[in-house]
Amino acid sequence: MKDQNESLSVENNQMTVTVSRRAWITLGILSSTLLTVFFSETMLLPAIPEIIQEFKITYGTAAWIFSAYLIVAAVMTPVAGRLSDLYGKKKVLLTLLAIYITGLAAGGFADSISFLLATRIIQGVGLAAVPAAFSLLRDTFPPAKLAIAIGVFGSAYSAGSVVGLLAGASIIQNFGWHGTFLAIVPFAALVTLMIARFVKENGQLIQSNFAKDPDKTSDKKRASFSIDIRGVLALSVTVTSFLIALTLIQIGVTSANLPQIASAFVASAISLSVFVIIERRIIPPFLDLRLLRHKILLPSYLMLIATGITMFMIYPTIVQLVRSPIPLGFGGDAIAAANVQLPFMV
């Protein structure tokens, strides 16, 4: 009976928790940040055939337009989370968005595939703004209402992907693929200004925590301030080398490029071994390898990897199929390619 009363009391307390107006405003602004960042993930999909034709590149090389963006995002996301703890979530978020806007503006003037890839790398840094935005959201909402905020915040991912696909197709059809970058710059700048003006930071920095706790040993303090740069670099080399090898294979295996393919695979294997050694020794690690031994988490990670591989195999393949001329494809335009992909995005 006592347990039931305590349970009812907890439920009543959760029901009476109110969310401030500022928290809802913060949720809207930060969700707009997520929508803006993920807009660029899909906006260029319908333009792949135009880019291939304009720069006279292969399909494998064109895949780097998305690979470069996602590799940088994967590497920078945990780094951004760590920097947020050290220097402040809002400051890091604004810095990342400024970098992202710079990449967008530069992408609108890309006149070569190398310059386009460079701008996509810069834009990939912007995707690392997601953990900083989520941390600000978590500090703003009361725990009892945080699930609602997470649901709204997470829905911005799908919304950004859908809006990016549809808006990107229309812009490509009427103004060319360069316009997709320039069209989102004003919106991204507006979101950044709104964060600077209206979003408040409530969390404490790690430096402040150490100032209040002088008993911390110097080793622990250094560990808490450190960022696993060696692990970041090793993982970057691992993924990049592996993708370079796959790109060379897609171009065609010949006696001329066979040594390059082998070297790329060897470099990937060596850097992966170095990464594992580093992560097992350093504190705190860039990636806690002990999580891979967790019986519940490991299947989830494998499913996410399989889902990601499937998604990014389907994305460009559908575009190529729809936009290729008859009889190789359906001979559709950018809008037709976006419409075919829309159900998959939703």
In a domain, 262, yes or no: no
pLDDT in tens, 287-328: 777 777 777 777 887 887 787 777 777 777 788 788 777 777
CA diameter of the chain: 79
Burial 201-229 (b: 16+ CB within 10 A, else e): beeebeeeeeeeeeeeeeeeeeebeeebe
In a domain, 292, yes or no: no
In a domain, 233, yes or no: no
pLDDT of residue 142: 82
In a domain, 63, yes or no: yes
| Residue type (1 letter), 190 | L
In a domain, 132, yes or no: yes
Q: Where are the alpha helices (DSSP H) in the chain?
A: 2-16, 21-42, 48-55, 59-62, 64-87, 89-107, 113-127, 129-140, 146-175, 178-198, 206-212, 218-225, 229-251, 258-281, 297-323, 334-345
pLDDT of residue 205: 57
In a domain, 46, yes or no: yes
Q: How far apart are CA 174 and CA 126, in angstroms?
A: 27
pLDDT of residue 81: 78
Tokens 């009391």 found at:
9
CATH number for the domain that contains residue 135: 1.20.1250.20
- Report in angstroms the alpha-carbon separations of 118 from 172, 233, 326: 21, 18, 34
Following DSSP, what letter does each residue of 158-169 receive, concatenated? HHHHHHHHHHHH
Q: Which domain holds residue 131?
A: 21-199+330-345
Number of other CB atoms surrounding residue 249 within 10 Å: 15
pTM: 0.79
pLDDT of residue 220: 52
The domain tally of the chain equals: 1
pLDDT of residue 103: 93
Please list the pLDDT of the chain residue by residue as tens digits (346 residues): 445 544 444 444 545 668 788 888 889 999 998 888 888 778 888 888 889 889 998 887 888 888 888 888 878 887 887 788 788 889 999 999 999 999 999 999 999 999 999 999 999 888 888 878 888 888 888 888 888 888 888 888 878 888 888 888 889 889 999 999 999 999 999 999 999 998 887 755 555 444 455 555 455 555 555 677 888 888 888 888 888 888 778 767 777 778 888 898 999 999 999 999 988 888 777 777 777 777 777 788 788 778 777 777 777 778 878 877 777 778 788 888 888 877 776 6
In a domain, 5, yes or no: no
In a domain, 96, yes or no: yes
Q: How far apart are CA 138 and CA 127, in angstroms?
A: 18
